[in-house]
Structure 1
Amino acid sequence: MTKLLRTAIDNAGSNLVRYAVIFGATLCLVGVVSTLVQTLLPLLQILVPLLAVWWLWQRYRKVQNRQQKHLHTTFYRLLQEHQGRMTLLDFAMTAEIPAIAARYYLDNRAKEFAARFEVTEQGDVVYVFSTLQFSRMQPSPTATPVASEDSMNELQRSKALSQAELAKRLGVAAKTVSRKKHLSTLSDWTQTRDPNGVSWSYDAQAQRFFPVSDRPSAQSETEHR
Protein backbone atom coordinates (compact mmCIF):
# COMPACT_ATOMS: atom_id res chain seq x y z
CA MET A 1 0.00 0.00 0.00
CA THR A 2 2.78 2.36 0.94
CA LYS A 3 4.67 1.44 -2.22
CA LEU A 4 1.67 2.19 -4.41
CA LEU A 5 1.13 5.52 -2.70
CA ARG A 6 4.75 6.45 -3.21
CA THR A 7 4.54 5.50 -6.90
CA ALA A 8 1.45 7.65 -7.35
CA ILE A 9 3.16 10.62 -5.71
CA ASP A 10 6.20 10.22 -7.95
CA ASN A 11 3.99 10.10 -11.07
CA ALA A 12 2.07 13.17 -9.96
CA GLY A 13 5.33 15.02 -9.39
CA SER A 14 6.61 14.08 -12.84
CA ASN A 15 3.40 15.29 -14.50
CA LEU A 16 3.55 18.54 -12.54
CA VAL A 17 7.10 19.17 -13.70
CA ARG A 18 6.14 18.38 -17.30
CA TYR A 19 3.19 20.80 -17.20
CA ALA A 20 5.33 23.46 -15.60
CA VAL A 21 7.92 23.13 -18.40
CA ILE A 22 5.24 23.34 -21.10
CA PHE A 23 3.63 26.34 -19.44
CA GLY A 24 6.99 28.07 -19.12
CA ALA A 25 7.88 27.39 -22.75
CA THR A 26 4.50 28.74 -23.84
CA LEU A 27 5.03 31.93 -21.85
CA CYS A 28 8.49 32.35 -23.38
CA LEU A 29 7.11 31.88 -26.91
CA VAL A 30 4.33 34.40 -26.28
CA GLY A 31 6.87 36.85 -24.94
CA VAL A 32 9.13 36.45 -27.98
CA VAL A 33 6.23 36.87 -30.39
CA SER A 34 4.98 39.90 -28.50
CA THR A 35 8.45 41.44 -28.59
CA LEU A 36 8.79 40.81 -32.33
CA VAL A 37 5.38 42.32 -33.04
CA GLN A 38 6.19 45.43 -31.01
CA THR A 39 9.53 45.73 -32.78
CA LEU A 40 8.15 45.20 -36.29
CA LEU A 41 4.93 47.16 -35.82
CA PRO A 42 6.32 50.49 -37.12
CA LEU A 43 7.77 48.68 -40.15
CA LEU A 44 4.48 46.87 -40.79
CA GLN A 45 2.60 50.17 -40.64
CA ILE A 46 4.76 51.39 -43.53
CA LEU A 47 5.12 48.13 -45.45
CA VAL A 48 1.44 47.19 -45.62
CA PRO A 49 0.29 50.49 -47.23
CA LEU A 50 3.20 50.31 -49.68
CA LEU A 51 2.20 46.82 -50.73
CA ALA A 52 -1.39 47.95 -51.17
CA VAL A 53 -0.32 50.94 -53.30
CA TRP A 54 1.95 48.75 -55.44
CA TRP A 55 -0.88 46.27 -56.05
CA LEU A 56 -3.27 49.07 -57.05
CA TRP A 57 -0.65 50.60 -59.38
CA GLN A 58 -0.04 47.29 -61.11
CA ARG A 59 -3.77 46.84 -61.60
CA TYR A 60 -4.09 50.40 -62.95
CA ARG A 61 -1.25 49.79 -65.43
CA LYS A 62 -2.91 46.63 -66.72
CA VAL A 63 -6.17 48.51 -67.27
CA GLN A 64 -4.36 51.39 -69.02
CA ASN A 65 -2.41 49.05 -71.27
CA ARG A 66 -5.60 47.24 -72.22
CA GLN A 67 -7.33 50.57 -72.94
CA GLN A 68 -4.41 51.85 -75.04
CA LYS A 69 -4.34 48.65 -77.07
CA HIS A 70 -8.06 49.01 -77.74
CA LEU A 71 -7.63 52.65 -78.82
CA HIS A 72 -4.71 51.85 -81.11
CA THR A 73 -6.63 49.02 -82.77
CA THR A 74 -9.68 51.23 -83.30
CA PHE A 75 -7.58 54.13 -84.58
CA TYR A 76 -5.72 52.16 -87.25
CA ARG A 77 -8.86 50.34 -88.33
CA LEU A 78 -10.71 53.63 -88.87
CA LEU A 79 -7.72 55.02 -90.79
CA GLN A 80 -7.93 52.14 -93.25
CA GLU A 81 -11.72 52.24 -93.54
CA HIS A 82 -11.92 56.03 -94.11
CA GLN A 83 -8.72 56.49 -96.16
CA GLY A 84 -6.95 58.52 -93.51
CA ARG A 85 -9.86 60.85 -92.63
CA MET A 86 -11.49 60.77 -89.22
CA THR A 87 -13.78 62.93 -87.12
CA LEU A 88 -13.85 63.20 -83.37
CA LEU A 89 -17.39 61.79 -83.23
CA ASP A 90 -16.49 58.77 -85.38
CA PHE A 91 -13.56 57.85 -83.17
CA ALA A 92 -15.40 58.46 -79.88
CA MET A 93 -18.40 56.38 -80.94
CA THR A 94 -16.32 53.50 -82.32
CA ALA A 95 -13.93 53.39 -79.37
CA GLU A 96 -16.82 53.98 -76.91
CA ILE A 97 -14.95 56.65 -74.94
CA PRO A 98 -15.86 60.21 -73.86
CA ALA A 99 -15.28 63.05 -76.30
CA ILE A 100 -12.57 64.59 -74.10
CA ALA A 101 -10.56 61.36 -74.08
CA ALA A 102 -11.06 60.93 -77.83
CA ARG A 103 -9.86 64.48 -78.55
CA TYR A 104 -6.79 64.01 -76.34
CA TYR A 105 -5.88 60.78 -78.14
CA LEU A 106 -6.46 62.15 -81.66
CA ASP A 107 -4.52 65.36 -80.94
CA ASN A 108 -1.53 63.29 -79.84
CA ARG A 109 -1.72 61.12 -82.96
CA ALA A 110 -2.10 64.24 -85.12
CA LYS A 111 1.16 65.63 -83.70
CA GLU A 112 2.87 62.28 -84.11
CA PHE A 113 1.86 61.82 -87.78
CA ALA A 114 1.75 65.53 -88.78
CA ALA A 115 -1.94 65.37 -89.65
CA ARG A 116 -3.88 68.19 -91.28
CA PHE A 117 -7.22 69.58 -90.18
CA GLU A 118 -10.23 70.39 -92.32
CA VAL A 119 -13.49 72.03 -91.30
CA THR A 120 -16.71 70.82 -92.91
CA GLU A 121 -19.65 73.04 -93.83
CA GLN A 122 -21.33 71.90 -90.61
CA GLY A 123 -18.34 73.10 -88.60
CA ASP A 124 -16.98 69.62 -87.77
CA VAL A 125 -13.20 69.22 -87.59
CA VAL A 126 -11.81 66.38 -89.72
CA TYR A 127 -8.41 64.87 -88.90
CA VAL A 128 -6.62 64.13 -92.17
CA PHE A 129 -3.70 61.70 -91.86
CA SER A 130 -1.77 61.80 -95.13
CA THR A 131 0.54 58.91 -94.28
CA LEU A 132 -1.72 56.42 -96.05
CA GLN A 133 -1.76 58.55 -99.23
CA PHE A 134 1.94 59.43 -99.28
CA SER A 135 2.83 56.67 -101.73
CA ARG A 136 0.34 58.10 -104.24
CA MET A 137 2.17 61.44 -104.23
CA GLN A 138 5.57 59.95 -105.15
CA PRO A 139 6.53 60.69 -108.81
CA SER A 140 6.82 57.66 -111.05
CA PRO A 141 10.34 56.90 -112.36
CA THR A 142 8.95 56.69 -115.93
CA ALA A 143 6.79 59.81 -115.69
CA THR A 144 6.95 62.33 -118.53
CA PRO A 145 8.06 65.96 -117.87
CA VAL A 146 4.42 67.11 -117.92
CA ALA A 147 3.49 64.52 -115.31
CA SER A 148 6.44 65.58 -113.15
CA GLU A 149 5.26 69.20 -113.28
CA ASP A 150 1.78 68.12 -112.25
CA SER A 151 3.31 66.20 -109.38
CA MET A 152 5.18 69.31 -108.26
CA ASN A 153 1.97 71.36 -108.41
CA GLU A 154 0.21 68.66 -106.42
CA LEU A 155 3.02 68.74 -103.85
CA GLN A 156 2.67 72.53 -103.61
CA ARG A 157 -1.04 72.19 -103.02
CA SER A 158 -0.40 69.63 -100.30
CA LYS A 159 1.35 72.40 -98.35
CA ALA A 160 -1.65 74.71 -98.68
CA LEU A 161 -3.77 75.27 -95.59
CA SER A 162 -7.36 76.21 -95.09
CA GLN A 163 -8.32 79.16 -92.95
CA ALA A 164 -9.01 76.95 -89.93
CA GLU A 165 -5.74 75.03 -90.39
CA LEU A 166 -3.66 78.21 -90.63
CA ALA A 167 -5.41 79.67 -87.58
CA LYS A 168 -4.56 76.54 -85.59
CA ARG A 169 -0.93 76.69 -86.78
CA LEU A 170 -0.60 80.36 -85.83
CA GLY A 171 -2.46 79.96 -82.54
CA VAL A 172 -5.16 82.51 -83.33
CA ALA A 173 -8.88 82.48 -84.02
CA ALA A 174 -10.10 81.72 -87.53
CA LYS A 175 -11.93 85.07 -87.59
CA THR A 176 -8.60 86.85 -87.07
CA VAL A 177 -7.11 85.15 -90.13
CA SER A 178 -10.25 85.98 -92.12
CA ARG A 179 -9.85 89.72 -91.33
CA LYS A 180 -6.19 89.79 -92.34
CA LYS A 181 -6.10 87.50 -95.38
CA HIS A 182 -6.64 90.35 -97.88
CA LEU A 183 -4.19 92.77 -96.22
CA SER A 184 -0.74 93.46 -97.68
CA THR A 185 0.80 92.83 -94.27
CA LEU A 186 -0.42 89.22 -94.16
CA SER A 187 3.01 87.73 -94.98
CA ASP A 188 4.83 89.69 -92.28
CA TRP A 189 2.09 89.08 -89.74
CA THR A 190 2.02 85.32 -90.34
CA GLN A 191 5.82 85.08 -90.27
CA THR A 192 5.96 86.57 -86.78
CA ARG A 193 3.42 84.06 -85.49
CA ASP A 194 4.37 80.92 -87.43
CA PRO A 195 6.28 78.43 -85.23
CA ASN A 196 8.81 77.89 -88.07
CA GLY A 197 8.92 81.52 -89.21
CA VAL A 198 7.13 80.76 -92.49
CA SER A 199 5.39 83.58 -94.37
CA TRP A 200 1.94 82.80 -95.75
CA SER A 201 -0.10 84.39 -98.56
CA TYR A 202 -3.73 83.98 -99.53
CA ASP A 203 -4.87 82.79 -102.95
CA ALA A 204 -8.42 84.00 -103.46
CA GLN A 205 -8.96 81.74 -106.49
CA ALA A 206 -7.93 78.60 -104.65
CA GLN A 207 -9.27 79.92 -101.32
CA ARG A 208 -6.20 78.49 -99.63
CA PHE A 209 -3.14 79.83 -97.85
CA PHE A 210 0.28 78.99 -99.35
CA PRO A 211 3.84 79.39 -98.08
CA VAL A 212 5.19 82.41 -99.93
CA SER A 213 8.05 80.46 -101.56
CA ASP A 214 5.73 77.60 -102.60
CA ARG A 215 2.73 79.52 -103.88
CA PRO A 216 1.82 78.23 -107.38
CA SER A 217 1.90 80.76 -110.19
CA ALA A 218 -1.21 81.70 -112.16
CA GLN A 219 0.25 79.99 -115.23
CA SER A 220 0.76 76.73 -113.35
CA GLU A 221 -2.78 76.98 -112.00
CA THR A 222 -4.14 77.41 -115.53
CA GLU A 223 -2.11 74.53 -116.97
CA HIS A 224 -3.11 72.24 -114.14
CA ARG A 225 -6.78 73.03 -114.63
Structure 2
Amino acid sequence: MLALVVLIIGFNIWQQYQWQQWCQRVNPVFHQLVRENQGKITPMDLAMRGSFPGPTAKRYLDGKASEFGASIVNAGSGNEVYYFITASILGNILDNSEPVKTLSAQPVTTAARSLLAPPAPQAVVAELESEVELAAPATHTEVKPNLAKQLVFGSLIQSELAKRLNVYSSTVYKRRNDPEFPEWTRSRDPDGIAWSFSEKTKEFFPLEES
Protein backbone atom coordinates (compact mmCIF):
# COMPACT_ATOMS: atom_id res chain seq x y z
CA MET A 1 0.00 0.00 0.00
CA LEU A 2 2.80 2.39 0.93
CA ALA A 3 4.58 1.60 -2.31
CA LEU A 4 1.43 2.48 -4.28
CA VAL A 5 1.11 5.85 -2.50
CA VAL A 6 4.76 6.63 -3.20
CA LEU A 7 4.27 5.64 -6.83
CA ILE A 8 1.24 7.93 -7.21
CA ILE A 9 3.04 10.87 -5.58
CA GLY A 10 6.09 10.31 -7.77
CA PHE A 11 3.92 10.17 -10.89
CA ASN A 12 2.18 13.45 -9.96
CA ILE A 13 5.52 15.15 -9.38
CA TRP A 14 6.77 13.92 -12.75
CA GLN A 15 3.60 15.18 -14.48
CA GLN A 16 3.99 18.60 -12.85
CA TYR A 17 7.63 18.78 -13.95
CA GLN A 18 6.69 17.86 -17.52
CA TRP A 19 3.99 20.55 -17.53
CA GLN A 20 6.40 23.22 -16.30
CA GLN A 21 8.93 22.29 -18.97
CA TRP A 22 6.23 22.45 -21.63
CA CYS A 23 5.08 25.88 -20.40
CA GLN A 24 8.64 27.18 -20.72
CA ARG A 25 8.62 26.21 -24.40
CA VAL A 26 5.20 27.83 -24.99
CA ASN A 27 6.02 31.12 -23.21
CA PRO A 28 7.67 32.75 -26.28
CA VAL A 29 4.56 31.96 -28.37
CA PHE A 30 2.36 33.48 -25.65
CA HIS A 31 4.52 36.64 -25.43
CA GLN A 32 4.35 37.10 -29.20
CA LEU A 33 0.55 36.77 -29.24
CA VAL A 34 0.26 39.33 -26.41
CA ARG A 35 2.16 41.86 -28.51
CA GLU A 36 0.38 41.07 -31.78
CA ASN A 37 -3.16 41.07 -30.33
CA GLN A 38 -2.60 43.90 -27.81
CA GLY A 39 -3.28 41.56 -24.90
CA LYS A 40 -6.46 39.86 -26.22
CA ILE A 41 -6.04 36.07 -26.59
CA THR A 42 -8.34 33.05 -26.93
CA PRO A 43 -7.41 29.40 -26.34
CA MET A 44 -8.03 28.80 -30.05
CA ASP A 45 -5.48 31.52 -30.99
CA LEU A 46 -2.83 29.89 -28.82
CA ALA A 47 -3.71 26.35 -29.93
CA MET A 48 -3.49 27.25 -33.62
CA ARG A 49 -0.21 29.14 -33.20
CA GLY A 50 1.40 26.43 -31.08
CA SER A 51 -0.17 23.40 -32.84
CA PHE A 52 -1.48 21.73 -29.69
CA PRO A 53 -5.00 20.84 -28.41
CA GLY A 54 -7.46 23.53 -27.32
CA PRO A 55 -7.95 22.14 -23.76
CA THR A 56 -4.18 22.28 -23.25
CA ALA A 57 -4.10 25.91 -24.46
CA LYS A 58 -6.96 26.77 -22.07
CA ARG A 59 -5.15 25.20 -19.13
CA TYR A 60 -2.02 27.23 -19.99
CA LEU A 61 -4.00 30.50 -20.30
CA ASP A 62 -5.83 29.84 -17.02
CA GLY A 63 -2.43 29.62 -15.35
CA LYS A 64 -1.23 32.86 -16.98
CA ALA A 65 -4.49 34.62 -16.08
CA SER A 66 -3.96 33.63 -12.45
CA GLU A 67 -0.30 34.71 -12.58
CA PHE A 68 -0.91 38.17 -14.12
CA GLY A 69 -4.47 38.85 -12.88
CA ALA A 70 -5.98 38.94 -16.38
CA SER A 71 -9.71 39.25 -17.12
CA ILE A 72 -11.66 36.35 -18.64
CA VAL A 73 -14.81 37.14 -20.65
CA ASN A 74 -17.29 34.56 -21.94
CA ALA A 75 -17.83 35.39 -25.62
CA GLY A 76 -20.66 32.87 -26.09
CA SER A 77 -20.80 29.35 -27.51
CA GLY A 78 -18.41 28.26 -24.77
CA ASN A 79 -15.63 30.52 -26.06
CA GLU A 80 -13.58 32.52 -23.57
CA VAL A 81 -11.44 35.59 -24.26
CA TYR A 82 -8.47 36.39 -22.01
CA TYR A 83 -7.58 40.09 -21.66
CA PHE A 84 -3.97 40.80 -20.63
CA ILE A 85 -4.38 44.51 -21.48
CA THR A 86 -3.71 46.68 -18.42
CA ALA A 87 -0.51 48.71 -18.46
CA SER A 88 0.91 46.90 -15.44
CA ILE A 89 0.18 43.43 -16.89
CA LEU A 90 1.62 44.23 -20.31
CA GLY A 91 4.64 45.87 -18.68
CA ASN A 92 5.35 42.78 -16.56
CA ILE A 93 4.93 40.38 -19.50
CA LEU A 94 7.06 42.44 -21.88
CA ASP A 95 9.73 43.07 -19.22
CA ASN A 96 10.09 39.30 -18.86
CA SER A 97 10.22 38.63 -22.59
CA GLU A 98 12.20 41.48 -24.21
CA PRO A 99 15.80 42.65 -23.62
CA VAL A 100 16.55 46.36 -23.69
CA LYS A 101 17.94 47.27 -27.09
CA THR A 102 20.01 50.29 -28.11
CA LEU A 103 18.00 52.79 -30.10
CA SER A 104 19.51 53.91 -33.39
CA ALA A 105 18.86 57.32 -34.88
CA GLN A 106 16.38 57.24 -37.76
CA PRO A 107 15.24 60.02 -40.11
CA VAL A 108 11.64 61.15 -39.99
CA THR A 109 9.76 59.47 -42.83
CA THR A 110 7.08 61.07 -44.97
CA ALA A 111 4.52 58.82 -43.34
CA ALA A 112 5.54 59.97 -39.86
CA ARG A 113 5.36 63.66 -40.87
CA SER A 114 1.90 63.19 -42.32
CA LEU A 115 0.80 61.45 -39.13
CA LEU A 116 1.98 64.33 -36.93
CA ALA A 117 0.96 67.19 -39.25
CA PRO A 118 -2.25 69.21 -38.51
CA PRO A 119 -5.27 67.84 -40.44
CA ALA A 120 -6.53 69.64 -43.54
CA PRO A 121 -9.73 71.73 -43.00
CA GLN A 122 -11.72 69.63 -45.47
CA ALA A 123 -10.48 66.26 -44.18
CA VAL A 124 -12.44 64.12 -41.76
CA VAL A 125 -10.09 63.80 -38.78
CA ALA A 126 -9.93 60.31 -37.34
CA GLU A 127 -9.98 60.07 -33.56
CA LEU A 128 -6.77 58.06 -33.56
CA GLU A 129 -4.85 60.77 -35.46
CA SER A 130 -6.12 63.43 -33.04
CA GLU A 131 -4.77 61.49 -30.08
CA VAL A 132 -1.35 61.15 -31.72
CA GLU A 133 -1.16 64.87 -32.51
CA LEU A 134 -2.13 65.87 -28.95
CA ALA A 135 0.38 63.44 -27.44
CA ALA A 136 3.37 64.78 -29.41
CA PRO A 137 5.21 67.78 -27.83
CA ALA A 138 4.36 70.99 -29.69
CA THR A 139 7.94 72.28 -29.78
CA HIS A 140 9.39 69.22 -31.50
CA THR A 141 9.03 69.06 -35.26
CA GLU A 142 11.17 65.95 -35.68
CA VAL A 143 9.97 62.89 -33.79
CA LYS A 144 11.25 59.38 -34.32
CA PRO A 145 8.83 57.04 -36.14
CA ASN A 146 9.05 54.62 -33.21
CA LEU A 147 7.77 57.27 -30.80
CA ALA A 148 4.91 58.23 -33.14
CA LYS A 149 3.74 54.63 -33.18
CA GLN A 150 4.16 54.15 -29.44
CA LEU A 151 2.21 57.31 -28.59
CA VAL A 152 -0.91 56.23 -30.45
CA PHE A 153 -2.55 55.96 -27.02
CA GLY A 154 -0.79 59.06 -25.67
CA SER A 155 1.52 57.27 -23.25
CA LEU A 156 4.25 54.64 -22.88
CA ILE A 157 4.48 51.69 -20.54
CA GLN A 158 7.58 51.11 -18.46
CA SER A 159 9.36 48.71 -20.83
CA GLU A 160 8.76 51.02 -23.83
CA LEU A 161 10.16 54.08 -22.05
CA ALA A 162 13.16 52.05 -20.87
CA LYS A 163 13.97 51.11 -24.47
CA ARG A 164 13.62 54.73 -25.56
CA LEU A 165 15.97 55.94 -22.82
CA ASN A 166 18.34 53.00 -23.43
CA VAL A 167 18.23 51.87 -19.80
CA TYR A 168 16.96 48.82 -17.96
CA SER A 169 13.26 48.68 -17.08
CA SER A 170 14.20 48.29 -13.41
CA THR A 171 16.08 51.62 -13.57
CA VAL A 172 12.94 53.43 -14.74
CA TYR A 173 10.97 51.69 -11.99
CA LYS A 174 13.38 52.87 -9.28
CA ARG A 175 13.42 56.49 -10.50
CA ARG A 176 9.80 56.99 -11.60
CA ASN A 177 8.68 58.66 -8.33
CA ASP A 178 11.84 60.79 -8.01
CA PRO A 179 11.12 64.57 -8.20
CA GLU A 180 14.03 64.83 -10.65
CA PHE A 181 12.56 62.11 -12.90
CA PRO A 182 11.38 64.51 -15.70
CA GLU A 183 14.81 66.17 -15.95
CA TRP A 184 16.56 62.79 -15.81
CA THR A 185 14.43 61.44 -18.67
CA ARG A 186 14.98 64.62 -20.69
CA SER A 187 18.75 64.18 -20.43
CA ARG A 188 18.53 60.61 -21.78
CA ASP A 189 15.70 60.97 -24.32
CA PRO A 190 17.00 61.11 -27.93
CA ASP A 191 14.62 64.01 -28.66
CA GLY A 192 15.11 65.78 -25.31
CA ILE A 193 11.55 64.98 -24.17
CA ALA A 194 10.77 65.04 -20.44
CA TRP A 195 8.48 62.31 -19.10
CA SER A 196 6.22 62.08 -16.05
CA PHE A 197 4.81 59.01 -14.26
CA SER A 198 1.11 58.56 -13.49
CA GLU A 199 0.58 56.58 -10.30
CA LYS A 200 -3.07 56.06 -11.27
CA THR A 201 -2.53 54.44 -14.68
CA LYS A 202 1.07 53.22 -14.13
CA GLU A 203 1.99 54.85 -17.47
CA PHE A 204 4.43 57.55 -18.59
CA PHE A 205 3.37 60.74 -20.37
CA PRO A 206 5.46 63.31 -22.30
CA LEU A 207 5.60 66.78 -20.72
CA GLU A 208 4.93 69.74 -22.99
CA GLU A 209 7.47 72.54 -22.78
CA SER A 210 6.05 75.88 -21.73
TM score, norm. by length of structure 2: 0.34
Larger Cα-atom Rg: 1
Report which structure shows greater RCO (CA 8 Å, sep ≥6): 2
Query: Higher helix share goes to which structure?
Result: 1
TM score, norm. by length of structure 1: 0.32
